Structures are given as structure tokens and as C-alpha cells.
Chain A
Amino acid sequence: MPETAISKNHILPWFQGDTIRFLFRAHVEFHRHHLGGLMLIKPMNGESYRVLFMTEVGIKIFDMEFFRNGDFKLHYLLDAMKRKSLLESLKNDMGLILYPVGGDTQIEMRKDRETGNVVIQSMNRNGVNYFFINEQNRVNKIKQRDGCIQRMNMTLYSADSREIDSIRICHSPVKMNIYLSKLNENRSEISE
């Protein structure tokens, strides 16, 4: 991939603007287990995001907070879900979605030979991340590699390139897949 000069500051986040929250139908497949529920992403005054997962019947499974400076806080985790590998994967994936390229992250800018779009390469403790940027300057694909092994492949779908519709995350060699599909709530029923 040839290098390009486009700045990472041009990348537009998916989760901000006037929307007070983003509610997704969520499916997590972990080995042969399946966990369904609702995933809620709440922007917190531009400084952080709260990410909550709950079952359809309202029982809270986890409550995480991701800060702009890269900090992370686990507010709540149901005892039955205390599997370190699962928690670490969720933390990694949601962190990449919410803050794809952190302020202090060392990056290389490249261009995708196939599409001509920008690809940002960065490193973190989980490996090398590749962020594929679409024409509207939003991340629409993330790949994470560790050496020659592809650890994670994430695709973000949007019909209008402005609002996210769904997200698909596939991990390997660990069998873990996450599907998020945005729910269309009746806005009149979201009472302040």
C-alpha cells in the first residue's frame, strides 16, 4: 500500500452528534455459546463513551467506559461473565470502534490499492491495526494482525455513510463473533 498524506484528524467518529444514544441488537458467539441481548453506546459529553450490555429482559451484563485519553473503566460485570479472554476482546473491539486512532498513537498513512481509499496503520499491545477509511472519512473496516496471523476483522455497515447500521466482528483463531444491528426506536418514547 503506497503512503498518503491525509491526516488522521480528518477521520469522523460514528458515535457522536445529536443522537443521545445508540441501541443495538447484539449477538455474541463465543466458542459454541451464544449470548443475545442489547448493546447501548452512550456518548458522555465528548469525554468518554459508556457501553452497556443487557439481556432482552433487562438484566445488565456489563457496563464499561472508554475515555478519550485511552483510559478504561469497568463499572460493572456480572459474575457469570467473568471470563478474562471474553472481557479483553470486548474491551479491545469496542475501544477500536469508539476511538479508532487515539491522539498519541503512532501511525502510518497508506492507500488501499484496491479502492484507493486511505488506510491508517497503527500498533497497540494487541498487534498492528489497519483502519480502512471510506470516502466520507469514516472507518468502515478494521483489521488487526499479530505477526502473520489475522486476529480480528471488523466491518462497519452504513447505508448513508453517516449513521451506522450494523457491525460485524470476527476473531480468529479464537472463535468469537459479534454482530451488532442498530435498533430503530420510537423517538417519541425516549423521554428525557
Chain B
Amino acid sequence: MNRTVAFFACFCLIFVMPHAGAQETFKPMSDIATFKEKLAAMSGATQTIVCNFVQEKNLSVLSEKVISKGQFYFKKENNIRWEYTDPYKYLIIISNNQLFTRDDKNQNQYDIQSSAMFQEMNKFISGCIQGDILKNDRDYAITYFESSRSYYVTLIPRNEKMKQMLNEVQIFFDRKDLTVSSLKMIESGEDYTRINFIDKKLNTEIPVEKFNFK
């Protein structure tokens, strides 16, 4: 079961960043190639990302959302710290091919190289943060949209196992700097998780301790 949990943690990390533009009118993207070029350029120039996030869990059984908050850190190559602080504490760190999780009672560490699944997920996470995920149209049916403020990409999994968990993933990019502003993971029915990334800071110094397992 541990690996299952870690898998979910990895899986969700993949979709790191955005603020869905409420009331925005999107139309099919007119120049996908240019969007991809800009995204690749932004990714190449980005060494670190630090931001806060607000996660909204929407369940069809609830008229109100479950809100959680925290901080996100990314540092090339492949160092991630994903930390929930309110209303619960939960920490995920990926660094040096190790995956570390800690909550208020337990902590676990996994060797990513020891499992094909972890390797795949790590590749996926990294690809998403750095924009390479949009090259993966073998595993996802990808559709591109845009508005005056945002770019918006939908990914529909082709893989059956992935489909069991998610119907669709929506990633919103801020049009002015191509950073991910919001991520929406849609499950079966009307349930979804939206993560809004706010107060983003690019290329600031992140202490190496942030990626240490303690």
C-alpha cells in the first residue's frame, strides 16, 4: 500500500501549478508550435520555482470544497519539495532519485530506480514541470486552447490504469510568462482537484536543505 500512496503522490505532483481563469473564454490555440517554443524557452531559463498553492477538492457529495494550502519548490535538475501546511502537514520530497514522504505520524523513503513505476512517474513529473509532458501524445490526447490571459491544455489519458483514476487533466499557463497557474485533475463523475499556484518566484535561491530528508 505504501507504494500505492507514493504513486499517487508522484502522480499528483506531476500536475504542478496554475490558476484557472474563471469566466475566461477559450478558443482553440491558433499557433501551437509557437506556444511550445515559448514554453521550452521558459523551461530552459527556469532554474528554480518557489510558490504557494491552494488546493481545492470538489466532491459531488459536498456543496462546499475541501481546501488545503502549502508551498511548492522546484530546483533543476529534478528536485521537488511539495509541502502541505494547512489544515494538515504533509511533505513530499523528490531528490537524487529518492522519493520521501512524511506526515504527522510516519515517514517513508523509496528508491525511484528500484521500481519501473517510480521511474515512469519521475519522468512524468519532471516532464510536466519542464513542459516536456506536452510532447507525450503517445500517452495522452492533448488539446490546446487560449484566451487573452491564458493558455490552456487538456490531457486525456490513453493508458487504462491512468484512466481509472483520472478522466482528464487541465493545465492553465499564464500567458505573460508561461508559468503554470492552475491545474485541474478531473476524476470520474463531477469530482475534481484544482491546484492554484500563487506568489510564484522564478530563479530565486532555494537552500539545499529544502530537498534534504530529515
Residues of A contacting B1 in the complex (Cβ-Cβ under 8 angstroms): 30, 33-35, 80-81
Q: Are A36 and B5 neighbours in the complex by a CB distance under 8 Å?
A: yes
Residues of B contacting A192 in the complex (Cβ-Cβ under 8 angstroms): 63-64
Residues of B contacting A190 in the complex (Cβ-Cβ under 8 angstroms): 64-65, 67
Known contacts A20-B64, A60-B191, A179-B105, A55 near B87 by CB under 8 Å: no
Q: Are A27 and B106 neighbours in the complex by a CB distance under 8 Å?
A: yes
Q: Are A80 and B88 neighbours in the complex by a CB distance under 8 Å?
A: no
Interface residues of A in 40-75 (CB under 8 A from B): 40, 42, 44, 50, 52, 54-60, 63
B172-193 CB mask vs A (1 if < 8 Å, else 0) is: 0000000000000101100101
Q: Is A185 an interface residue (CB 8 A)?
A: yes
Q: Are A60 and B61 neighbours in the complex by a CB distance under 8 Å?
A: no
Q: Are A38 and B9 neighbours in the complex by a CB distance under 8 Å?
A: no
- For the complex, count residues of A whose C-beta is within 8 A of B: 39
Q: Are B64 and A191 neighbours in the complex by a CB distance under 8 Å?
A: yes
Complexed CA–CA distance, A51 and B82 (Å): 27
Q: Is A186 an interface residue (CB 8 A)?
A: yes
Of A20, A52, A55, A186, the contact of B5 (CB 8 Å cutoff): A55
Residue of B nearest to A86 (CB): B1
Q: Is A183 an interface residue (CB 8 A)?
A: yes
A86 to chain B, nearest CB (A): 9
Known contacts A35-B1, A50-B61, A54-B57, A186 near B105 by CB under 8 Å: no
Known contacts A21-B64, A30-B1, A57-B9, A185 near B103 by CB under 8 Å: no
Residues of B contacting A63 in the complex (Cβ-Cβ under 8 angstroms): 61
Residue of B nearest to A34 (CB): B106
Residues of A contacting B9 in the complex (Cβ-Cβ under 8 angstroms): 55-57
Residue of B nearest to A31 (CB): B1
Known contacts A23-B66, A25-B104, A58-B55, A36 near B61 by CB under 8 Å: no
Complexed CA–CA distance, A23 and B12 (Å): 21
Q: Are A40 and B106 neighbours in the complex by a CB distance under 8 Å?
A: no
A168-192 CB mask vs B (1 if < 8 Å, else 0) is: 0000000000010001111001111
Q: Is B32 an interface residue (CB 8 A)?
A: no
Of B5, B65, B86, B165, the contact of A191 (CB 8 Å cutoff): B65
Q: Are B90 and A56 neighbours in the complex by a CB distance under 8 Å?
A: yes
Residue of A nearest to B9 (CB): A57
Q: Is B22 an interface residue (CB 8 A)?
A: no
Q: Are A36 and B188 neighbours in the complex by a CB distance under 8 Å?
A: no
Q: Is B159 an interface residue (CB 8 A)?
A: no
Complexed CA–CA distance, A23 and B191 (Å): 17
B100 to chain A, nearest CB (A): 14
Q: Are A21 and B103 neighbours in the complex by a CB distance under 8 Å?
A: no
Q: Is B2 an interface residue (CB 8 A)?
A: yes
Of B67, B103, B108, the contact of A56 (CB 8 Å cutoff): B103
Q: Are A55 and B105 neighbours in the complex by a CB distance under 8 Å?
A: no
Known contacts A33-B2, A35-B5, A59 near B61 by CB under 8 Å: no
Q: Is A78 an interface residue (CB 8 A)?
A: yes
Complexed CA–CA distance, A191 and B88 (Å): 19
Residues of B contacting A36 in the complex (Cβ-Cβ under 8 angstroms): 5, 90, 103, 105-106
6 residue pairs A–B, Cβ–Cβ below 8 Å: A23-B66, A35-B1, A54-B57, A56-B84, A59-B12, A60-B187
Residues of B bordering A, CB below 8 Å:
1-2, 4-5, 7-9, 11-13, 55, 57, 59, 61-68, 82, 84, 86-88, 90, 92, 103-106, 108, 164-165, 185, 187-188, 191, 193, 195
Question: 10 extra interchain contacts, Cβ-Cβ under 8 A, other than A40-B66, A56-B68, A186-B67?
Answer: A34-B2, A40-B62, A57-B11, A57-B12, A59-B165, A80-B7, A183-B88, A186-B87, A191-B64, A192-B64
